[in-house]
């Protein structure tokens, strides 16, 4: 007599697949719920002053009021514009600076020690000095966002370029050299005269337009 295991029924299979999903959802929302509970208890028992951490109901009432008069949308768009402009400037400058620090030894010798010293200090510590040069208007906000974005982008770009294998760099350099030499042979008259005198005769004389 042999025993055969029966196949799981569709309902049991669905429950088996649903349990891991519910567990992941519970783990995901557990931390926000704990923080919200700690926030409510702190405001209820006065662990922090209201000026530092207002009660959740006060924050919710303020959000509703700003939404009704349109201030919330206006202020959110202004903040998003600051973030977009500052992040774009910081990311682009950080990408170029990181590539230069890795690919150009002269730039790395002069700039890297200073950059390392500056990057160790938090952006907030530079605020008094930035206020003297930039002021306290919109420019300061853009500079702070760009500064905070550029430093990690510079480090990541420099590290990423360092991780590229040397054989790949040699292949890229060989391809660029081949393309540049082919372009010079087609577009530069002295190279054409050296490479093919017969082809150079067909070029127009100097001073004439194409």
Domain end (from 36, 68, 100): 68
Domain end (from 41, 68, 95): 68
Express each pLDDT in 100-159 by its tens digit: 888 888 888 888 888 888 888 888 888 888 888 888 888 888 989 999 999 999 999 888
Residue 205 lies in a domain: no
Domain end (from 48, 68, 88): 68
How would you class 157 by CB atoms within 10 Å of its CB: exposed for 0-12, middle for 13-18, buried for 19 or more?
buried
Q: At what angle do helices 71-103 and 56-69 cross, to 10 degrees?
A: 100
Q: Rounded CA gap, 102 and 162, in Å?
A: 7
Express each pLDDT in 58-68 by its tens digit: 888 988 998 88
Residue 114 lies in a domain: yes
For residue 30, CA distances in Å to 21, 25, 37 come to 14, 8, 11
Q: How large is the average pLDDT for residues 73-80?
A: 90
Residue 131 CB partners (closer than 8 Å, separation 6+): 140
How would you class 98 by CB atoms within 10 Å of its CB: exposed for 0-12, middle for 13-18, buried for 19 or more?
buried
Report the candidate in 43, 65, 38 with the shortest Cα–Cα distance to residue 53. 43
Q: Rounded CA gap, 139 and 48, in Å?
A: 33
* Model pLDDT, residue 193: 42
* Model pLDDT, residue 82: 92
Torsion sign (Cα): 190, 191, 197, 198: negative
pLDDT interval class at 11 (50, 70, 90)? low
- Give the mean pLDDT of the chain: 77
Q: Number of folded domains in the chain? A: 3
- Domain containing 191 equals 167-200
Q: What is the CA radius of gyration of the chain?
A: 31
């Amino acid at each position: 007599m042999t025993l055969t295991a029966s196949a799981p029924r569709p309902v049991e299979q669905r429950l088996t697949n649903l349990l891991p999903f519910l567990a992941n959802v519970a783990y995901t929302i557990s931390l926000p719920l704990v923080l919200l509970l700690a926030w409510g208890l702190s405001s209820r028992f006065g662990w922090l002053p209201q000026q530092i951490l207002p009660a959740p109901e006060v924050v919710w009432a303020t959000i509703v009021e700003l939404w009704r008069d349109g201030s919330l949308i206006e202020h959110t768009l202004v903040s998003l514009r600051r973030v977009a402009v500052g992040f774009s400037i910081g990311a682009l400058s950080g990408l170029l600076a990181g590539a230069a620090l890795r690919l150009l030894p002269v730039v790395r010798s002069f700039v890297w020690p200073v950059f390392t010293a500056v990057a160790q200090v938090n952006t907030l510590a530079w605020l008094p000095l930035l206020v003297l040069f930039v002021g306290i208007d919109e420019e300061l906000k853009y500079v702070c966002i760009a500064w905070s974005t550029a430093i990690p982008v510079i480090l990541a770009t420099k590290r990423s370029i360092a991780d590229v294998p040397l054989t790949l760099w040699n292949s890229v350099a060989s391809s660029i050299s081949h393309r540049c030499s082919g372009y010079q042979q087609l577009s530069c008259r002295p190279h054409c005269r050296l490479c093919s005198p017969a082809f150079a005769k067909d070029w127009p004389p100097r001073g004439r337009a194409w």
